[in-house]
Amino acid sequence: MKKFVFLAFALIGAVLAGCDDNGGDPKPSELTITSDLSFTQVNEIKYSDLAMFLPVNNTRADLPASQAPFSIVVKADEGLTSLSLKLTTDNAAINGALTEMGFAGTFDLATLTGDQAAAMEGFGFPTGSKVAGAKNVGFSLVAFMPMIYTVPGGINQFDVTITAKDAKNVTKTETAKMKFVDDLEYVFITGADEPIEITPAEALGGIEVVVGINAPLTIENLIVEISSTSQAFTAGLAVMHLDTAIDLANPGPLADVLTPIGLPNGDAVKGKSAVNFDISEFIPMLYGIAAGAGETEFSATFSLTVKDPAGHELTKDLELNFVAAE
């Protein structure tokens, strides 16, 4: 009899353990999808918020999903049997890339193998055994951000639909809709906003003239056109073959001319995200050519055009005014 009573109490305890705090029905197994992104409204994301995740200035892309932005966390008490994604966008280039990789429609991270699994792993998504049977899976969309940021043609909309299924065939679907707001200048030229006045003493004694070139997506072209009101200096440019537009990022044989006069070129420019256009060493020669022909008051203009791989460009003129001694 005592054994029967003990078993009865044990059975009651087991039942109560599966009930909610109020002694009601057993707690249902949970299957949830959560994110710092909204699933109920469109997420407006500024391009400037993505700049920190670009390869050239990435300090946060390796954060775990629990700390990284644009994170997705899936919890399944019964263990996941599938975790499917569907990526949709209004950009033809991204759609083409997704199609080429085999991700044009819905795909299951739990069953991906080979190159497809490697591709998704490269973007920080778990695949295979990291998903199948797992009760807690987290990942971040942050690895997609450089691709979204740099894609030709621009992007307005990017949606991620997540569908989770557990061992009891319970499913849960959420969609994160993202709208990208282009609030960013992609290329920057600083230090060329106002004309610079230079005296003979400064020209010959050394004056620092540096223009900062910044391109978060890296520099594809940095084109300079030099012009002057000095006839002697203009003639000197022709002799050095610098009287036409020069792409400092792709100088070709002109590198042999540009390097000795201190102008950055070639690998010092191409593919960089920041370059100093420093003409401090060039100024004494510039002034010396003109002054040697009796031209001590003249101007010289360096028209700078920077372009990035996505086609964004900016042009600014650096104007130097050489004045007579006081």
Quick one: what percent of the chain has pLDDT higher than 90? 45
Q: How far apart are CA 210 and CA 192, in angstroms?
A: 9
Which burial class, exposed, middle or buried, applies to 40 when counting CB atoms under 10 A from its CB (0-12, 13-18, 19+)?
Answer: exposed
Whole-number average pLDDT of the chain: 82
CA 60 to each of CA 102, 204, 228: distance values in angstroms, whole numbers, following the listed order:
29, 47, 46
Structural domains of the chain in order of their starting residue, each with its CATH number: 29-181 (2.60.40), 188-322 (2.60.40)
Question: What is the DSSP code string of 133-198?
Answer: T-SEEEEEGGGGHHHHHH-TT--SEEEEEEEEEETT--EEEEEEEEEEE----S-EEES-SS-EEE
Residue 145: in which H helix or E strand, if any? helix 145-150
Measured CA angle at 52 (ends 48, 56), to 5 deg: 115
Banded pLDDT at 312 (limits 50, 70, 90): confident
Token reading at 146:
């450089």
Lowest mean pLDDT of 66-70, 190-194, 292-296, name the range: 66-70
pTM of this structure? 0.51
Mean pLDDT of 176-191: 78
Q: Up-side HSE of residue 254: CA atoms within 13 Å toward CB?
A: 23
**Where are the strands (E) in 79-140, listed by range?**
80-89, 106-108, 136-140
- The answer, yes or no, to whether residue 92 has pLDDT greater than 90, is no
Mean pLDDT of 86-110: 88
Higher pLDDT, 27 or 210: 210
- 112-133 tens-digit pLDDT: 999 999 988 888 889 999 999 9
- The answer, yes or no, to whether residue 7 has pLDDT greater than 60, is no
Mean pLDDT of 229-250: 91
